[in-house]
Amino acid sequence: MSSSSDFQQDRHSFSGSPQKWTDFELPGDTLYYRFTSDMSNTEWGYKFTVTAGHLGRFQTGFEILKQMLAEERVIPHLPLAKIWEWQVGVACRQTGHQRLKAIHLLLKLVQCSSQGDCDLTLLKPLWQLFTHMENNSCNDTAKPGILLPLHRALAELFFVTENRVTELGSLQEYLLALNTEDHLHRCTAQ
C-alpha cells in the first residue's frame, strides 16, 4: 500500500498472517494497493479497513483549516468568529509545536478577518503568557536577543493584531481588554 501510484511514497508492505499487519496512516486522500499471491494457499486473500481522517486529530484539523484559510473564495463562507474562539482555546491548551501551529492559524485568521469576526479580547490568556515571557527575557542576561519560538510566534501575533485593530480604529478598546487594571495602573505610573 502506498500514497503514490508508483508505490514509492509512504510504502507499507505486508505478508503472512494477520498478526504481522499493523495499523498505519497515509497522508492525502488516495490509497493505492497491490495484492499479489504466491499461490501457496487457496484462501481468498486479505481484508483491510480504510478510515478517512481521524476525528479529533490535531494535525488533520490543522491541515484542513490551513488549506481553507488559504483559499480567499472560501473565507467568506466560514464561521470565522466560531473558528477564532476554538483556535484561541486550542492555543491556550496545547503546548509545543501544536501551540505554535494554533498561533499560526490565529495569525492567519487575524489577517483575513473583518471587524467583528474575531473577538480579540479572547487573546487575554495568550497576552499574559507573552508579557510574562517579555518580562523574563528582559531579566535574562545570559541569552540576550535570543527568543524562543513561542515567544517569536506570540510577538508576531500581537504585532499583526495591533496593526489590524489600529486599521479598524479600535486600538484603545483592544488594549484595555487585554490588560489588567493593575497593569494599567503600573504603566500609568511609569
How many CB atoms are closer than 10 A to CB 44?
7
- For the ranges 25-39, 102-116, 150-164, which has the lowest average pLDDT? 25-39
pTM reported for the whole predicted model = 0.64
How many CB atoms are closer than 10 A to CB 144?
8
User: What tens digit of pLDDT does each residue of 128-138 get?
Assistant: 899 888 888 76
Residues in Cβ contact with 131 at an 8 Å cutoff, skipping those fewer than 6 apart: 183
Across residues 7-16, what is the average pLDDT? 86
Does 42 have pLDDT greater than 80?
no
Average pLDDT of the chain to the nearest whole number? 83
Q: What is the pLDDT of residue 21?
A: 79
User: What tens digit of pLDDT does each residue of 43-102 get?
Assistant: 777 777 877 665 557 788 888 899 999 998 999 899 999 999 999 998 988 888 889 999
Tell me the chain's radius of gyration from C-alpha atoms: 24
pLDDT more than 70, % of the chain: 89
Q: What is the pLDDT of residue 154?
A: 94
**Helix and strand totals (H; E) in the chain:** 7, 0
Residue with the larger pLDDT of the pair 45 and 148: 148
CA distance 53 to 55: 6
Residue 123 and residue 161 in contact, taking contact as beta carbons nearer than 8 Å: yes
Q: In the structure grid, which three cell numbers stand for residue 5, read together? A: 501510484
Q: What is the pLDDT of residue 133?
A: 87
Residue 7 and residue 34 in contact, taking contact as beta carbons nearer than 8 Å: yes
- For the ranges 64-73, 83-92, 110-119, 162-171, which has the lowest average pLDDT? 110-119
Domain boundaries, the chain: 1-53, 55-179
Side chain identity, residue 33: Y
